[in-house]
Structure 1
C-alpha cells in the first residue's frame, strides 16, 4: 500500500475501506469483504446505509520516545 504523506505501508485501513466500497458499488463483491494486505487481514462490512465498518487486529510495529523539548513545545 502507498499512503500519501507516509509512503509505503504494510496496511491501510482507510484505503482498504475505499477499495472495498468501490468493489461493492461495482457489484464485484458482497457487502462483507475480507481484505488481505502484507500487514494483515481485515474484515469490512458495508451496511444498507453505506456505513463502512472495519474490524481487524492491531499490531505494534515500532517503539520510540519523544524528546522532552518536543513534548514541551506540543503543550503550548
Structure 2
C-alpha cells in the first residue's frame, strides 16, 4: 500500500472514531482537532458518508449513522 494511502486511511478512521465518541461535531471542530485543512476534512467526510458511516443532520455538522451504530452494538 502506498504510504500516503495508509496515512489517509488512518486519518479517516481517527475522524470516524472522534465523531462516534463525541456525537455530533462541526467541520470546524474537526479541522481544529486534527490540524488539517477544511478541504481535507471535507474529502475525508465524503469517504465516510459514501460508506454510510456518517451523515450530516445539518449543514456543517456530522454524526455517525444509525444503521452503523446498530451494527456496532450487536
Normalised by the shorter chain, which TM-score bucket? 0.3 to 0.5
Higher strand fraction (1 or 2): 1
Is the helix fraction higher in 1 or 2? 2
Tell me the TM-score normalised to structure 1 length.
0.34
Structure with larger RCO (C-alpha < 8 A, sep 6+): 2
| Higher alpha-carbon Rg | 1
Taking structure 2 as the reference length, the TM-score comes to: 0.35
